[in-house]
Structure 1
Amino acid sequence: MIEAVKFWNEPNNKSHWDLELDPEWIRFGEMTRLACSAVAAENAQLTRVLGGISPIDPQFIQRLDAQGVLDGVHAVAVHGFPLDWNLWQIHEWPDKLAEIQAVTSLPVWVTEVGVSTFGAEEVQAWGLERTAQLLMGRAPRIHWYSLYDLPKAWPATTRHREAEGSSYYRHFHMGLLREDGSPKLAAREFHRFTPELGICQWFHFEDHRLHDAVRWLRQLGVKKLRTGLSWADSFRPDADAWFDRQMAALDEFDLTVTFCFTPEHRGLQPHHTSAPQVAEEYAEFCARMVRRYAGRSAPMPLAATA
């Protein structure tokens, strides 16, 4: 069920990685190298992807390359939201991909791209059409963010929350479906772009939307889905039982699974964006999830000797 694993989410975004604790990404690099090795030891056939970067920054890719991080992955990923958060226009998407392609020979995936309905549903519908025109055929994977609006009773997973102003509230309007599950204008057109266009949908612990999400993904013709397994959630009671239900429900899709979110008690600071106290613990979590849901790959045969 898993075709790829991703290491972290937006590591160059201060809402997802505490840059005060790790301003040069040295700890992040060590953690990711260890995780790559641990996953490869479990299943070398899985595609390993660097966590999608936001903003799209070629210098960040070069920085990690210099640390040897890119030696352990098969692809890098970018996230872009030019109609909501980025300081560039939507028609610049090909140029943004080219900036990353210029500094690495690895494939460049787009694992989050979307448009909020914060202002109007018509903006999202137009943005979906234009995004598909600009990205389809240019990236091996494209995941639209997201299927559902975030329920207003839940906090968005971002560090500074309401202090971000309107940027924070746009998180709640990114879905093709409203909070109550009813479709927006863009949902009625999404099937035109599948299966090439996938979806990114994060599921919260014990998420009540899981099975309805599967029905909608089938209806929309989605084949490729990106989701996440939270290292922080793994310490909750009955965490493995929830992970099992989530992964069983999503078994029919080609999954890219993101491993992220530091448990508060295992971080240098008690926050999900913190570098861990012990980098090997993140690697062990990644390996355990791969072992549980992807299994071990067959060992490579020994080379013949003369």
Structure 2
Amino acid sequence: MIEAAMIWNEPNNKSHWDPLLDPDWSRFARMARLAGEAIHAENGSLTRVLGGMSPIDPGFIRRMQDQGALTAMDAVAVHGFPLDWNLWSIHEWPEKLREIEAATALPVWVSEVGVSSFGAEEVQDWGLARTAALLKGRAPRIHWYSLYDLPRAWEATTRHREAEGSSYYRHFAMGLLREDGTPKPALETFGRHTPEFGLCQWFHYQDHRLDEAVRWMQRLGVRHLRTGLSWADSFRPDALAWFDRQMDALRDFDVTVTFCFTPEHRGIEPHHTSPPLVPEEFAEFCGAMVRRYA
């Protein structure tokens, strides 16, 4: 069921890792290496993927190489949203991949790519078709972000929230389905690009959308799914029961499971972006999840 384990999410983005607490990413590199080693010790056949970069930065990959993190990885990953957040054109996708391929011998995955419907649903539909033309056959894995819009009652995982202006609100319009579950025009276009295109869909703790999401993914012909198991959530009541239910529901897909989010009480600072006080604890979490589900 699990084909790959991804270590963290966007580690070079301050919405997911605090650079003030780890300005040279040495803490992150050590944590990632320990986690990769723990995953391999439990299941040597799993592909270990360094958390997708956002922004796409060959300098970050070289830093991870120099600090020893890539010795425990089998692939690296990138995230790109040129029509919403990145300061480059959608037509530069091949060039962006070449930049990372020049910095490492490891395969380069596209573990998140997407277009919001914030301005117009027609823009999302065009962006999906153009992305497919540029990326299909170009990377071992391509995960479109995402199946569902983020519910407006929830918060997007980003540092500055409403201070980001329209950039913040674009987080809520990335789905192929609206919050109420009705399809946008891009849904039909996406279905023409499976199974080459997979999906990235995060499921929150006790997410009410899980079963319906499975039905949509089966209907669309999705084979590869990227999702997450949160280290922070593992301290919630009945966390393992939720993890079991989530992973059982996804048993028919080839899953890339992302391990991330520091529990507040185990961070240098009480925040999910903080480096952990004891990086071995994150590695132990990764190993335990692999032992349970892979």
TM-score of Structure 1 vs Structure 2, range by shorter chain: over 0.9
Tell me how far apart the structure 2 counterparts of residues 220 and 115 of structure 1 sit (CA, whole Å). Answer: 18
2:259 maps to 1:263: no
Corresponding residue for residue 151 of structure 2? 151
Corresponding residue for residue 230 of structure 2? 230
What are the Cα deviations for residues 131-187 of structure 1, in whole angstroms up to 9, with x where unaligned?
000000110000000000000000011222112221111000000000000000000
Corresponding residue for residue 210 of structure 2? 210
- Tell whether the 8 Å contact from 1:202 to 1:227 is kept in structure 2 after alignment: yes
Corresponding residue for residue 3 of structure 2? 3
2:97 maps to 1:97: yes
Tell me how far apart the structure 2 counterparts of residues 165 and 5 of structure 1 sit (CA, whole Å). Answer: 34
Identical amino acids, percent of aligned pairs: 75
Tell me how far apart the structure 2 counterparts of residues 115 and 280 of structure 1 sit (CA, whole Å). Answer: 36
Consecutive unaligned residues of structure 1, counting only runs of 5 or more, are 295-306
Tell me how far apart the structure 1 counterparts of residues 37 and 217 of structure 2 sit (CA, whole Å). Answer: 33
Q: TM-score, normalised by structure 2?
A: 0.99
Tell me how far apart the structure 1 counterparts of residues 235 and 290 of structure 2 sit (CA, whole Å). Answer: 17
Structure 2 counterpart of 1:232, one-letter code: A
Tell me how far apart the structure 1 counterparts of residues 103 and 247 of structure 2 sit (CA, whole Å). Answer: 35
Tell me how far apart the structure 1 counterparts of residues 156 and 39 of structure 2 sit (CA, whole Å). Answer: 29
Superposition RMSD on alpha carbons, in Å? 0.5
Superposition misfits of 4+ residues, deviation over 2 angstroms: none
2:109 maps to 1:124: no
Structure 1 counterpart of 2:10, one-letter code: E
Structure 2 counterpart of 1:189, one-letter code: T
Tell me how far apart the structure 1 counterparts of residues 257 and 85 of structure 2 sit (CA, whole Å). Answer: 24
Tell me how far apart the structure 2 counterparts of residues 194 and 68 of structure 1 sit (CA, whole Å). Answer: 36
- Tell whether the 8 Å contact from 1:159 to 1:273 is kept in structure 2 after alignment: no
- Tell whether the 8 Å contact from 1:227 to 1:257 is kept in structure 2 after alignment: yes
- Tell whether the 8 Å contact from 1:199 to 1:226 is kept in structure 2 after alignment: yes
Corresponding residue for residue 304 of structure 1? none
Corresponding residue for residue 87 of structure 2? 87
SS in structure 2 opposite 1:285? Answer: helix
Range with bigger deviation, 110-119 or 151-160: 151-160
Structure 2 counterpart of 1:249, one-letter code: A
Tell me how far apart the structure 1 counterparts of residues 290 and 164 of structure 2 sit (CA, whole Å). Answer: 35
SS in structure 2 opposite 1:189? Answer: helix
Compute the displacement of 1:195 (Å). 0.2
Q: TM-score, normalised by structure 1?
A: 0.95
What are the Cα deviations for residues 222-251 of structure 1, in whole angstroms up to 9, with x where unaligned?
000000000000000000000000000000
Corresponding residue for residue 274 of structure 1? 274
- Count residues in correspondence: 294
Structure 2 counterpart of 1:63, one-letter code: R
Range with bigger deviation, 153-162 or 255-264: 153-162
- Equivalent residue runs for 1:1-306 within 5 Å: 1-294=1-294
Structure 2 counterpart of 1:233, one-letter code: D
Structure 2 counterpart of 1:282, one-letter code: F
Tell me how far apart the structure 2 counterparts of residues 146 and 102 of structure 1 sit (CA, whole Å). Answer: 28
Tell me how far apart the structure 1 counterparts of residues 250 and 101 of structure 2 sit (CA, whole Å). Answer: 31
Structure 2 counterpart of 1:273, one-letter code: T
SS in structure 2 opposite 1:162? Answer: helix
Tell me how far apart the structure 1 counterparts of residues 197 and 24 of structure 2 sit (CA, whole Å). Answer: 34
Structure 2 counterpart of 1:180, one-letter code: D
- Tell whether the 8 Å contact from 1:93 to 1:134 is kept in structure 2 after alignment: yes
Tell me how far apart the structure 2 counterparts of residues 171 and 219 of structure 1 sit (CA, whole Å). Answer: 25
Compute the displacement of 1:191 (Å). 1.2
Consecutive unaligned residues of structure 2, counting only runs of 5 or more, are none
Structure 2 counterpart of 1:117, one-letter code: S
Tell me how far apart the structure 2 counterparts of residues 89 and 142 of structure 1 sit (CA, whole Å). Answer: 18
Tell me how far apart the structure 2 counterparts of residues 180 and 125 of structure 1 sit (CA, whole Å). Answer: 19
Range with bigger deviation, 82-91 or 160-169: 160-169
